[in-house]
Structure 1
Amino acid sequence: MNTKNLVLMAMLVAVGAALYLIIPGINGGMKPDFMLTMMFIGIFLFRDVKSVFILSLATGVLSGLFSTFPLGFLPNIADKLITGFVFYVVIKSFKSIASNLIASTVLVGLGTLLSGFIFLSVAIFILGVELPFLVLYATVVLPAVVLNGIAFFLIKPIVTKILERSSFHKPVAN
């Protein structure tokens, strides 16, 4: 892993953190997790286990630190690590689909669904936070799927074009 890739991953996570901080909360302060969107973009760009681990862990820790969810630190870390590696396996398994923007956006939506399920499951069932799973899933996770999909659809081509024009990163071979 080279320093340029680490810097780019850090920039993606930082942009995700900035978006997370400026987006207003919905349903009692819960926020869509745009750090998740940036993590997905990072996984598309850096398709190796070390990068996925670094992106997932960094995104999970920052999401946990900024979380407005009760006891949200550990669920965020678990959620990002599991979601990141599942997403990575899907991307590696379906390389041809991953190169299509529409298909990639659908994968991001499915990844957001998985992320929300894991986060709420860990928070409610393991930590014992008493909140209604289905209500939170419908009012926070489903809108986050739409917002993350739109954000990904708009941001990924911009990041890809910038990287193609610079010597900063060599595009991943599909």
Structure 2
Amino acid sequence: MNVNLRKNILTALLIAIGVILRQIVPGTIGSMKFDVMLSVIFVSLLINRDFKNTILTGLLGGVIAAMTTTFPGGQIPNIIDKLITCCLVFGMIRLSEKFQNQTIARGIISFIGTIISGSIFLTSALFIVGLPAPFEVLFLGIVLPTAITNIFLTTFLYQTVLMAMKVTGIQIAE
């Protein structure tokens, strides 16, 4: 099987897992949910360190998040946020390749990536449709706890996916 096809299938499977996780997380302040989809997006970017995959992941993640959002008018902000976040996280992943402790690097990337994503989402939603609660309340009540949660979820999912790939013999390296 073609390596690029394997990479795309893995990305699609990870996004599918993100959809399932997204559906079980309840809405909270202002109908916002903890964006656990970001964890699978980050895992996809960490495993498939290819810019084409970054764009695919951002687009797929954004469209799926837009289709499943509980935030009133959150469709366009979700697409904007996921595409920009994926590109910035891709850059962070490239910069972190020199670090000795990759587990800590992945946790930091996940935390910062979630902060970036939440900030972009809230800012774009503010300008496009308005916010159901003050920016600070949504940031402190949703984005910050999600960023902390995503450190652990991303680390766990990354290790789980690597283990599954090893057990099944899947290799995506070129």
Do they superpose with TM above 0.5?
yes
- Residue 112 in structure 1 maps to residue 109 in structure 2: no
Match for residue 9 of structure 2 among 7, 14, 20: 7
| Backbone CA RMSD of aligned residues | 1.7
Q: Which runs of 5+ in 1 are unaligned?
A: none
- Which residues of 2 match residues 39-118 of structure 1 at below 5 A? 39-97=41-99, 100-118=102-120
d(CA) in 1 for partners of 2:109, 2:100:
8
Q: Deviations over 1:111-143 (max 9, x none)?
A: 000000000000002x04144111110111011
Determine the structure 2 residue equivalent to 1:132: 134
d(CA) in 2 for partners of 1:53, 1:109:
20
**How many equivalent pairs are there?**
171
What is the deviation of 1:35? 1.2
d(CA) in 1 for partners of 2:145, 2:96:
26
Taking structure 1 as reference, are residues 2 and 98 closer, same or farther at Cα in structure 2, changes over 3 Å only? farther
What is the deviation of 1:106? 1.5
Q: Is the 8 A contact 2:81 2:121 kept in 1?
A: yes
d(CA) in 1 for partners of 2:96, 2:108:
13
Question: What letter matches 1:112 in structure 2?
Answer: T
Q: Is the 8 A contact 2:6 2:172 kept in 1?
A: no
Q: Is the 8 A contact 1:64 1:76 kept in 2?
A: yes
Q: Which runs of 5+ in 2 are unaligned?
A: none
TM-score (norm 1): 0.91
- Structure 1 runs (4+) greater than 6 angstroms displaced: none
Q: Is the 8 A contact 1:5 1:169 kept in 2?
A: no
Determine the structure 2 residue equivalent to 1:25: 27
